[in-house]
């Protein structure tokens, strides 16, 4: 059975976006929430990695939202719309915790 390339793109985009989000959450938990001892200085390489991952994640989710809206796929449109809200809520929560 052959699928539309747009649906295949949306599927793999959702998989990669979910993996990136879980990677960001794992890095944040290991570095800032659950370390053995509190770091004296903020680890610059970890912050740079998280910033780059968030940039890629936002690009992927917004491209998935635009493509799903353009082809009229409600399932992926709801997924990516909710995912964008979760991403921005996570950014706001992190800003609230770390100042």
Q: What are the tens digits of pLDDT across the range 59-79?
A: 999 999 999 999 999 999 999
C-beta of residue 95 within 8 angstroms of C-beta of residue 58: no
Q: Where are the domains of the chain?
A: 1-13+46-99
Q: What are the tens digits of pLDDT across the range 22-64?
A: 999 999 888 888 887 877 787 889 889 999 999 999 999 999 9
The answer for residues whose C-beta is within 8 angstroms of residue 24's C-beta and 6 or more apart is 50, 53, 54, 57
C-beta of residue 86 within 8 angstroms of C-beta of residue 78: no
Secondary structure class of 51 (helix, strand, coil): helix
């Amino acid at each position: 059975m052959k699928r539309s390339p747009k649906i295949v793109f949306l599927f793999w985009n959702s998989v990669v976006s979910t993996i990136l989000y879980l990677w960001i959450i794992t890095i944040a938990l290991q570095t800032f929430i659950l370390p053995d001892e509190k770091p004296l200085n903020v680890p610059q390489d970890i912050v740079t990695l998280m910033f780059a991952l968030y940039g890629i994640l936002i690009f992927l989710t917004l491209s998935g939202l635009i493509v799903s809206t353009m082809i009229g796929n409600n399932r992926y449109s709801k997924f990516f719309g909710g995912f964008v809200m979760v991403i921005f809520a996570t950014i706001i929560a992190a800003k609230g915790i770390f100042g």
